[in-house]
Amino acid sequence: MSNGTKSESLIDALDGVRDAVLSIGGAGVIEYPLIAFPSEHVLAFNNNEFSHLRGIAEGQPYFTSDGEITDLQHRLLPGSKVQSTFPVELSKFLDVYQWPNPQPEPFDLPTNHSVDTTNAVPAASSKQAYFFGDGSYLVTVGPSIPKIAFTKDGGAQFWVSSVGVISRRSKRYVGLHWQCLFEGFPAKAGPERPSQLLAAGVFDPGWYVLQAGSKEGSALANEPIAGQTDNGLERAVR
Amino acid sequence: MAEQSATLVEALDRIRYSLEHYVPHDIEQPQLTIGPVEHVLAFKINEHHFLKDADTDTPHFSNQGYFSDLSGTALRGSSCRTGLKIHISKLPETEKWPPPQPEPFDDGISKPNHTDPLGHSKQAYFFHDGSSLVTTGPSVPKILKLKGGGAQLWVASVGVIAQGTGKYKDVRGLSSYVGSAHFPHWPAKPPEQLQLLAAGFPAVIAAYFKLVLKEDQR
């Protein structure tokens, strides 16, 4: 048999099957080694966040979000926490309703040595902090694009997609983090006063994937966070 | 059946093992949607990349591949085409990293140094049923030198859906494309690095979509 499980009795075996059924896919598992390179860790998880649009009166609006992390089966990771923020430029807000032009073929070559970027440029940079139950954490920063689509029930679906580069991490993680954040909410109101609606707060489950270099053998493992710099990262991995 | 169990207990233990290592062989992730009309897709892509026009100031990655589910099982009939142009003058930026971000993390202020996109990419995904999705958006590549003399290359892209066919015709939504490649030996000098990339290399990508179908839009 290829696995290490050897039950002592039929009852033990049935209990094992029961437990396995209860944890199909592995409860709380966020590592995906089957799609990682040998020196790489791939993490994928979901966030349940609650977001508010703040700073409207001050003329500097931004989304502020807090929540918790779940695995991809939507099971909570105990002790986890996420915080993120995304500034909003009011002058560009209407861009969220605009979509790109159809892209010409071929899709694996630039057309006339360029790509049509209409309505597909970043609106701002966001930052995200992920805190895991074992005390590890990752902080990322990078460009974000928000979009809103109207739904037939009179509501709207809101998404934000971001690229995140790891800027801070606890001793468990060193390397790079690519992350995607999607926020969505089924609004009952129309889009006429979106800022008012968003200021009231929205619940958004996000989907994240991280691909990070291994820290194994790293000299950085015990260095304090405050001492971690770009050069420190390279020292650690070299 | 690949192998017959010798006892009932062993058979049950094998069922248990299979359940514990189960990954859904589907790209739809309904447990992660919000609202009544959203669809979430997640899949892995196995691609082969080439850096073309590597002897010019504006080379571009030209990539082709097929999909797998998140357990690595290939999805028959799938394929993809992606492309990313970069400017040679921006290559040093791929090895620079952002500064630590100040707390609090939810205050709207970030220090985005060294996170600017180095190019704009487009991605086309073709599904086994004839449907397709095409996205475009900014891409951020980074390279990390590894202690054995190799390197890890990552490219992450935000994708805004530009068009689709079949069941994805006229959908709206966003995607994220997160790809990586591993080089056991990474040359020290840029010309040799470009030569290595031009020779072609395998890459593994995770792609995520959140979208609303045409029939659910107004």
Q: Higher model confidence: residue A100 or residue A226?
A: A100
Q: What confidence tier does B162 reach under pLDDT thresholds 50, 70, 90?
A: very high
pLDDT over 70 at B97, yes or no: yes
Residue A224 token pair: 């304090």
CA distance B153 to chain A (A): 10
Cβ contact A202:A183 at 8 Å: yes
State whether residue B64 is helix, strand or coil.
Answer: strand
**Which of residues 113 through 132 in chain B touch A, CB cutoff 8 A?**
114-117, 119-124
What are the residues whose beta carbons fall under 8 Å from the beta carbon of B1, sequence distance 6 or more? none
Query: Is A168 close to B101, i.e. CB distance below 8 A?
Result: yes
Q: How far apart are CA B86 and CA A127, in angstroms?
A: 25
pLDDT over 50 at B202, yes or no: yes
Q: Which residues of A touch B16 (CB under 8 A)?
A: 5, 13, 16-17, 19-20
Phi (first) and psi of residue B25, to 5 degrees:
-90, 60
CA distance A173 to chain B (A): 14
Q: Which residues of A touch B216 (CB under 8 A)?
A: 151-152
Query: Is B138 close to A120, i.e. CB distance below 8 A?
Result: yes
For the ranges A7-21, B86-100, B105-119, B155-169, the lowest mean pLDDT is seen at A7-21
Q: Tell whether A103 lies on the interface with B, counting CB pairs under 8 A.
A: yes
Chain A: residue nearest B172 by CA? A149
Average pLDDT of A181-210?
A: 48
What are the residues whose beta carbons fall under 8 Å from the beta carbon of A15, sequence distance 6 or more? none
Please state, in angstroms and as integers, the Cα–Cα distance from residue B84 to each residue in A17, A65, A116, A184, following that order: 47, 32, 12, 28
Q: How far apart are CA A176 and CA B155, in angstroms?
A: 10
CA distance A216 to chain B (A): 10
Query: Is A40 close to B137, i.e. CB distance below 8 A?
Result: no
Instruction: Encode pLDDT of B124-133 as tens digits.
Output: 999 989 999 9
pLDDT over 60 at A41, yes or no: yes
Specify the residue for token string 């200021």: A199
Q: Which residues of B touch A113 (CB under 8 A)?
A: 58, 60, 85
Query: Is B105 close to A83, i.e. CB distance below 8 A?
Result: yes
**Which of residues 36 through 75 in chain A touch B, CB cutoff 8 A?**
36-40, 42, 44, 46, 54-55, 60, 62-66, 72-74
State whether residue A20 is helix, strand or coil.
Answer: helix
Q: How far apart are CA A61 and CA A52, in angstroms?
A: 10
Q: What is the pTM of this model?
A: 0.79
Q: How far apart are CA B171 and CA B214, in angstroms?
A: 5
**Which of residues 61 through 90 in chain B touch A, CB cutoff 8 A?**
62-64, 68, 70-72, 81-83, 85
Residue B182 token pair: 């591993």
Cis peptide before A106 (omega within 30 of 0): yes
Q: How far apart are CA A66 and CA A83, in angstroms?
A: 5
Specify the residue for token string 């357990």: B71
Q: Tell whether B112 lies on the interface with A, counting CB pairs under 8 A.
A: yes
What are the residues whose beta carbons fall under 8 Å from the beta carbon of A131, sequence distance 6 or more? A79, A80, A81, A82, A83, A137
Please state, in angstroms and as integers, the Cα–Cα distance from residue A107 to each residue in A85, A180, B53, following that order: 33, 22, 16
Average pLDDT of A201-207?
A: 50
Closest CA to A228 of A178, A177, A166: A166
Q: Which member of B29, B34, B115 has the closest CB to residue A186?
A: B34
Instruction: Encode pLDDT of B7-42 as tens digits.
Output: 898 888 888 777 766 656 678 989 889 999 999 999
The pLDDT of residue B210 is 95
Instruction: Encode pLDDT of A156-165 as tens digits.
Output: 999 999 999 9
pLDDT over 50 at B96, yes or no: yes
ipTM of the complex: 0.84
Q: Which member of A99, A153, A167 has the closest CB to residue B100?
A: A167
Q: Higher model confidence: residue B103 or residue B72?
A: B103
Q: Which member of A5, A54, A149 has the closest CB to residue B212?
A: A149
Average pLDDT of A121-138?
A: 91
State whether residue B204 is helix, strand or coil.
Answer: strand
CA distance A63 to chain B (A): 7
Residues in chain B: 218
Instruction: Compute CA A153 distance to the chain's CA centroid, rounded to the nearest angstrom.
Output: 28
CA angle B30, B32, B38 (to 5 degrees): 65
Percent of chain A with pLDDT over 90: 28
For the ranges A52-61, B71-80, B96-105, B135-144, the lowest mean pLDDT is seen at B71-80
Average pLDDT along chain B: 89
Residue A209 token pair: 């994937």
The pLDDT of residue A109 is 81
Residue B139 token pair: 């891409």
The pLDDT of residue B211 is 96
Output helix, strand, coil percentages for chain B, rounded to the nearest 5.
20, 45, 40
Which residue out of A12, A47, A180 would a mutagenesis test of the B interface target, given it has the greatest number of B Cβ atoms within 10 Å? A180
What are the residues whose beta carbons fall under 8 Å from the beta carbon of A156, sequence distance 6 or more? A148, A149, A150, A185, A186, A187, A190, A191, A194
Q: Tell whether A112 lies on the interface with B, counting CB pairs under 8 A.
A: no
Which residue out of B5, B10, B13, B18 would a mutagenesis test of the A interface target, given it has the greatest number of A Cβ atoms within 10 Å? B13
Percent of chain B with pLDDT over 90: 47
What are the residues whose beta carbons fall under 8 Å from the beta carbon of A93, sequence distance 6 or more? A194, A195
Cis peptide before B104 (omega within 30 of 0): yes
Query: Is B212 close to A151, i.e. CB distance below 8 A?
Result: yes
pLDDT over 60 at A16, yes or no: yes
Q: How far apart are CA B19 and CA A11, in angstroms?
A: 17
What are the residues whose beta carbons fall under 8 Å from the beta carbon of A140, sequence distance 6 or more? A127, A128, A129, A130, A164, A165, A166, A167, A177, A179, B101
